[in-house]
Amino acid sequence: MPTRTLSHDRRPQAPWRTRLPLTGLLVALALMGLCMAVPAVFDWNVRVNSFPPIHAEWMPRVGVASAVALVLAGLFGWKAVDLAETLPWGRLLLATYVAALAWMLALALLDGTSGLRDVMDDSYEYMNTARRVTDFPATLAEYVSRISYDAEPRNWPVHIAGHPPGALAFFVLLVRLGVTDGFEAGLVVSVLAATTPVAVLCTLRTLGAEQVVRRAAPFLAVGPAAIWMCVSGDALFAAVGAWGLAALAMAATRRSTGPQVAWSVVAGLLLGYVVMMSYGLPLLGILCLAVLWLGGAWRPLPIAAAAAVAVVLSFAAFGFYYWDALPELHDRYWEGVGGRRTPLYWMWGNLGAFLFSAGPMAGAGIAWLLNDKGRPRLPGNHEPARGHHGESRQRAADAAASRGPALLARLPRFPRERSPRHAVYVMTLAGILTVLSADLSQMSKAEVERIWLPFVPWVLLGCALLPERWRRRGVWIQLTAALVIQHLLRTTW
């Protein structure tokens, strides 16, 4: 059984460093509050359903599931941090999955079965269209022509038009398998979405960071994101993307050609399919590059890319051309509510909305990255590698690069020294960069508490680097935030 290793947490810290988590938490809460206050105080219509920055209605309520959620919150707050560090790895993954699923369902069922059914059965969502699809290849052939508002009355509902057909294909498959009720579909999505934290943990363990990433498990499993993870297509996208990154980590750390190629293909197929589920998820490429760099191999990149392109071309074979759909979507977005949502608010309002989903402890985790004692020290390429392991690792990386194509040989050198904290640090930074890139694109203004779910767990990894006392407090803060949001607001989209 692993023993707890708290030596890093007990190192003497400069006073300003010990205040970093509190500073980050307060900044996050201030941003969330400011995003709510500014539209209300200045009577500013920012074009979102009644409770900016999130798409929600003020609706305080309690239900039978409230008691269940409170009991679960008490259990998680009491034991989660200790169990995350002491459970054997397999049991930790199982416990993380069960906790994530239980927390998601407890929050959703606050509104009874309608908490799962109503969203899935909404006319904007996938199930309503999936039930009417009788010939999916024919649907693909006309998909692009029905994105524009000009195709009315045959234009697609919001979520169908706003996503490639990979998302619709999943729900069409559910219908074919006999899952036609919105409640049943919500359960399926929840069961799959709950695997997301497991995939993230597996990714970091493969990259050599098990010792540290264990500490992130409570933050990945239980938090405000569960409110949206339970019943949204974006939660499904998060799971597919996370498992794609986990497969890519396996590819990057295999030293035998056969397993490396096999895992590269699996990663490419999953990541290619997630691109066919959401136009915004090519941004996962930032996380892919971080995984490859940490894994010490660029060779999986062209193989995975080829497999991903094959997925995109397979849809093109039936008439859906991704490159034609993008400009159609862009025009529809700017002609519709997206064009009326001012960047003056949403460029920073998006970040506040993201914090409602990720939870305010994301701010504490991000602030702690500024701590010199927590930041990995990367020697430059001019510095000699220290120690036999670093030398052999760099020689192997250099040899692999010299055997590969010239382009791969010019890619950034792999880290000569890598600690478990290093991997978590780099993946957290990659997650932050992904969120900022999505924000700057201006193709997601509002509703990002749901749309950016695939990015949430990677940003929350930073909480693993926090001192123990802050991790203990942080789990309670995340649980409280989730309970308050779900009991005061009725989230919609």
pLDDT of residue 312 exceeding 70: yes
Give me the residue spans of the domains in the chain: 24-376+396-491
Nearest to 465 by CA among 382, 383, 362, 378: 362
Per residue in 32-70, pLDDT (tens digit) is 999 999 999 999 999 998 899 999 999 999 999 999 999
Separation of alpha carbons 380 and 124, rounded Å: 51
pLDDT of residue 323 exceeding 50: yes
For the residues 424-437, what does the mean pLDDT come to? 97
More confident residue, 112 or 370: 112
If DSSP codes are grouped into helix, strand and coil, which group holds residue 113?
Answer: coil
Instruction: Grade residue 391 by pLDDT with cuts at 50, 70 and 90.
Output: very low
pLDDT of residue 325 exceeding 80: yes
pTM beyond cutoff 0.85: yes
For the residues 231-237, what does the mean pLDDT come to? 95
Tell me, what's the pLDDT at 413? Answer: 58
Which residues make Cβ contacts (< 8 Å) with residue 305, sequence separation at least 6? 268
pLDDT of residue 414 exceeding 80: no
Per residue in 118-172, pLDDT (tens digit) is 999 998 999 999 999 999 999 999 999 999 998 888 899 999 999 999 999 999 9
**Mean pLDDT for all residues in the chain:** 90
Instruction: Grade residue 379 by pLDDT with cuts at 50, 70 and 90.
Output: very low
Separation of alpha carbons 363 and 346, rounded Å: 19
Separation of alpha carbons 434 and 341, rounded Å: 21
